[in-house]
Chain A
């Protein structure tokens, strides 16, 4: 029988080997976030026109490394920890093949280090997307492939754990909603990694001279099968964490298991060719292909996100109302635990992801509107609202919960931690809004000098409107604030792991980095299976609205969405006719 412990504070089950793997994956993610954050500061200070810190070569190298560390390494490491949590911990089950899981982790580390080395050697400043025929050093691609193989092993360990849990009856009934969400993330991850393999393996072979030519359009279509889908892993993972935090912070129950699970299912069924969003202004792909594959005629993946946008805060509202916060539409929200960073981080993430990330994403993904947005700084603004606030802030919030529960350390500086989500979300919101604004004025992404001084010296002059320069300075200010918020997160997290009060006497330095706690913490008696409480006798889904406040917020979202959507069509209608 495998060994496990039950957390005395949360009642959560931690399998001994799964616990170590969750710790090392989360710590590896935090290291990647540290790298990404330092680089983010350099980038913010370079695109701030009056500072313009780095030279062109360093800027492009830094940008390549920032993208990969923030978007791939930080998130995927953390998501592997979430997969193990959602399977082993929530289903009270031993981890399938812990040695395989360690192998996967080792490959991910080797891959991440290899690609970073390639980038910082300076010959692989090809951006995260590494569009052919621009070529990086072979070990740039090799590192990505190794990392992907490692992550794939992690996915199969997760799936194997589900099988064991079912066989050994470690839970009663259906898997929890959060596990269901994690399964969604895992299925999308397998698709993502398969797409990555299909394109990166030939590209690697091309970089060492074994293949003569890679078609640029084919590369874009398949690469984005990985690149965009990997963002859907993030969405499925962070939405799962939203549900988990609603449960942890409020004891909230999903409003409807059927609706929430159905929405996750829509992600699996309707996200897969989201790569089409990136090909909207490419030659060689027809309009009907673009229109169909960005929407599948119904935008059901968008529908799924809109559903989660209602049901996550809605479940919090229902739980708060049960506690007696029933005055008016918003007492439940006013009296929410705004000083608890686990809650505030998640709630800010929901609002910013929904209102900014969701709306801008769908608008950008509209075939014709993409013409006025493609490759401008607007795109960068969009994905910072989805992944830097949606995913990163959610994972930060979850970390504050995991420090005592998983690492058995008390969080240091709780006063500072209260402010962390506001600082990070505030800085990011400034950054995002002005990125969107600058992009609307045409400022390109991935561009070292919007002042075009070198071009002017060759006799071709161009200046963006003064407003664009002002906005880029404000982006820089937002970046500095957000980096400060990120630094506080890392300071609190690493500080707690090193110096936080031990909640178990054996929770020492080594234990923070993956070594199990003292043997006496663990037992191998068969645990009680995971099961829900007795069914609620009061009727679910009464005729009235259970969560009127959330419904009003959702209507506000819809109205903003409709208005902004048509503003963009209006703007499109003003540009030169094209056909």
Chain B
């Protein structure tokens, strides 16, 4: 009569199963199926989904694109490191040349900076490009608490629509060496 001895009945797999076990398995399996269904359903009905858009990219390519954006749309610099704050156009904004903007904005992670800082407009959408120039970093937007992994050689592109205004901070939450705890970035969202 024991889990540490061989089963007393040789043909144990034909023995009937108790009622509570059957009921519990049925309930649990149902719950498991509901939990599975929630994930695809959220892609159709939910508003918070990661895109599947990603590209291979080299650090120098990504740095060049980010720098080009920063140079074009810099509005001021902040901090002792003179990190530019850039105010790029959102998706659909009219550009000076008469075209509409694709809303591409770039932010890179490197030891130990998020660069540049972004100034965005509330309720407008942007295509945010994220990559790392060196080690792995963690993009953790606070106090909203959205967290994403940022990898070198991979460019992740996702559409974000800030629906609250104010000052937001990007904490690095993937350990990236001795000054990991100093790695902060900013996104400002204006009304």
Contacts and interface: CB of A to CB of B under 8 A. Distances in A.
Q: Do A and B come from one complex?
A: yes
Interface of A: 56-57, 60, 90, 125, 127, 131, 133-134, 171-178, 215-217, 220, 243-244, 246-248, 251-260, 279, 281-284, 286-287, 291, 294-295, 297-300, 302-303, 306-307, 310-311, 314-315, 362, 366-368, 370-376, 440-442, 444-449, 452, 454-455, 457-460, 462, 464-465, 530-536, 539-548, 550-551, 554, 558, 561-562, 565, 569, 572-573, 575-579
Interface string B152-164: 1111101111111
A234 B176 CA distance: 28
Contact of B10 (A173, A220, A541, A579): A173
A247 B2 contact: yes
B15 A532 contact: no
B147 A281 contact: yes
A303 B28 contact: yes
A246 to B, nearest CB: 6
Contact of B135 (A133, A253, A303): A133
A217 B149 CA distance: 10
Contacts of B177: 134
A216 B20 contact: no
Given A133-B135, A257-B15, A449-B181, A459 B163 contact: no
Contacts of A447: 171, 173, 175, 180-181
A459 B80 contact: yes
Contacts of A257: 7, 12-13, 15
B1 interface: yes
A298 B29 CA distance: 7
B154 A283 contact: yes
18 contacts: A56-B178, A133-B136, A134-B177, A177-B3, A282-B149, A283-B155, A298-B32, A299-B33, A367-B42, A368-B48, A372-B147, A442-B140, A452-B184, A532-B6, A532-B7, A541-B19, A577-B47, A579-B47
Given A310-B20, A376-B145, A572 B48 contact: yes
A569 B38 contact: yes
B97 to A, nearest CB: 27
Contacts of A542: 18-19
A259 B181 contact: no
Given A253-B2, A444-B171, A462-B171, A578 B19 contact: no
Nearest to B142: A442
A577 B161 contact: yes
Contact of A578 (B7, B9, B50): B50
B64 interface: no
Contacts of A540: 15-16, 18
Residue in B79, B80, B146, B156 with the greatest tally of chain A CB atoms within 10 Å: B146
Nearest to A133: B135
Interface string B65-100: 000000000000011110100000000000000000
Contact of A460 (B18, B153, B186): B186
A371 B48 contact: yes
Interface in B125-140: 130, 134-136, 138, 140
Interface of B: 1-10, 12-13, 15-21, 23-25, 27-29, 31-33, 35-36, 38-40, 42-43, 46-52, 54, 78-81, 83, 130, 134-136, 138, 140-156, 158-164, 169, 171-186
7 nearest A-B residue pairs (beta carbon): A283-B156, A459-B79, A444-B173, A532-B8, A299-B32, A283-B54, A243-B3
A534 B183 CA distance: 67
Contacts of A371: 48, 50, 146-148
A358 B112 CA distance: 35
A445 B173 contact: yes
B173 A375 contact: yes
Contact of A366 (B1, B16, B38): B38
A252 B3 contact: yes
Contacts of B184: 452, 455, 460, 462
Nearest to B117: A460
A141 B103 CA distance: 44
A565 B35 contact: yes
A578 B4 contact: no
A375 B172 CA distance: 10
Given A216-B151, A291-B40, A455 B182 contact: yes
Contacts of B52: 286-287
Given A287-B50, A307-B28, A455 B181 contact: yes
A541 B35 CA distance: 30
Given A299-B33, A376-B145, A578-B47, 19 more contacts: A90-B5, A127-B175, A133-B152, A246-B3, A254-B7, A282-B151, A283-B54, A287-B52, A298-B29, A299-B35, A302-B32, A366-B39, A375-B147, A444-B140, A459-B79, A531-B6, A540-B16, A540-B18, A578-B48
